[in-house]
Amino acid sequence: MARTAGSHSDITGPRVRTAALSLFARHGYAAVSMRQIAREVGVQAGALYNYTPDKQSLLFDLMQTHMTDLMAARTDEPTGGTALERLEAFTRFHIRFHSARPDEVFIAYMELRNLTPENFAVIEGLRRQYEDALESILQDGQTEGSLAVPDTKVATLAVIAMLTGVNTWFREGGRLSLGEVEQVYWDMVRKAVAA
């Protein structure tokens, strides 16, 4: 056999995804052309098609990878404890995970409308799974009596919206450290859903 399959593609492939990620986050999927991505990688546009069947798949792969990473990281977290303890763990995990991947997070919910219906359904399913994890905690807390929310489903969405909002303003090296941000949000979440 001649050159091992992907001897260069090992380098170029990830570079394509990295370039697409950064450009999609900065300018939006629809506003970024395949030629712009290629220029960033240092390659002609046609060469991109060695790494993705089309532009849509490139977007979908980025979003799916992000959501899969999220789910995997979540299940790696230590589990167990009271509902309150698990809620704190969820809160801190969410902030930590999302603040470390601003581009992925931004794309994952700004570009939902640019997915084909089938691809959208997949991403939506993963997002629902993640929300369900939080909803379970809130439900258990109600059963335990340690938490009291007016509506479990709404509280779930409210907490996630609040936590994801961190990404719109938090920057490393700012007034607050990530640990301080975690603490501030945990204070508010805890009070908001406390019994």
Partner DNA sequence: AGCGTAACTGAACAGGTGTTCTTTTAAAAC
Partner DNA sequence: GTTTTAAAAGAACACCTGTTCAGTTACGCT
The answer to whether the CB of 29 falls within 8 A of the CB of 64 is no
Neighbours of 130 (CB within 10 A): 16
Residue 149 near which of its own copies, DNA, none (CB within 5-8 Å, type-dependent): its own copies
Quickly list H helices, the chain. 9-27, 34-41, 55-76, 83-99, 102-110, 117-144, 152-164, 178-193
- Residue 190's nearest CA partner among 88, 105, 96 is 88
Minimum distance, C-beta of residue 64 to DNA, in the bound complex (Å)? 17
Q: What tokens does 22 get?
A: 């950064």
Minimum distance, C-beta of residue 51 to its own copies, in the bound complex (Å)? 23
Question: What residues numbered 131-150 form the site for its own copies, per CB under 8 A?
Answer: 149-150
Distance of CA 32 to the CA centre of its chain: 21
Binding flag, residue 8, its own copies (CB under 8 A): no
Question: What residues numbered 90-119 form the site for its own copies, per CB under 8 A?
Answer: 110, 113-114
Q: Pick the closer one to its own copies by CB: 12 or 164.
A: 164
Q: Pick the closer one to DNA by CB: 10 or 85.
A: 10
Residues in Cβ contact with 2 at an 8 Å cutoff, skipping those fewer than 6 apart? none
Binding flag, residue 32, DNA (CB under 7 A): yes
Binding flag, residue 169, its own copies (CB under 8 A): yes
The 42-61 contact track toward DNA, x by CB under 7 A, reads xxxxxxxxx--xxxx-----
Minimum distance, C-beta of residue 10 to its own copies, in the bound complex (Å)? 32
Q: How far apart are the first and last CA of the chain?
A: 68
CA angle 61, 63, 66 (to 5 degrees): 105
Where along the sequence are the contacts to DNA (CB under 7 A)? 1-12, 32-36, 38, 42-50, 53-56
Where along the sequence are the contacts to its own copies (CB under 8 A)? 26-28, 30-31, 110, 113-114, 149-151, 154-155, 157-162, 164-165, 168-169, 176, 181, 183-185, 187-189, 191-194
